[in-house]
Amino acid sequence: MPRALRLRCLILAPLALLAIAGTAVAKPQIAILGLEVIDKTGSPTPTDAQVAEELTQQLRARAKTSGPYILSPLGEKELIDEKLLKSCDDEKPTCMQVIGKDLTADVMMYGHI
């Protein structure tokens, strides 16, 4: 192989790798709203609140370190707070869409326990 051709190959190979790496798709952002505690008696126990908090924190930790999503910069809000701010009585899609727009995330996880 001629020397000029070998030099071109040596120069083009790293450039091709950089181009491929530069086109890697970023992970979609997720907002994980704090789980709302709902108790049929109307009075959730401190243990119920602790379980909801720990589960929420573990979900957020997973999004920060691994998995198919990355946590949105605004993705650590509480579901109950967001519903109050937007005057939502429930989690109907029309209301949750309004909340989701403010959180700048591709996906939103929320619920109650």
Domain coordinates of the chain in residue numbers? 26-109
Q: Tokens representing 83?
A: 């519903």
User: Tens place of pLDDT for every residue, the chain, 113 residues?
Assistant: 555 444 444 454 444 444 554 445 688 999 999 999 998 888 889 999 999 999 999 999 999 998 899 999 999 999 999 999 999 888 999 989 889 888 988 999 999 89
Identify the bridge partners of residue 112 per DSSP, sorted by sequence position: 36
Distance CA 23, CA 47 (A): 46
The whole model's pTM is what? 0.72
C-alpha dist (Å) from residue 62 to 59, 68, 101: 5, 10, 23
pLDDT at 24: 56
Q: Tokens representing 27?
A: 């992970």
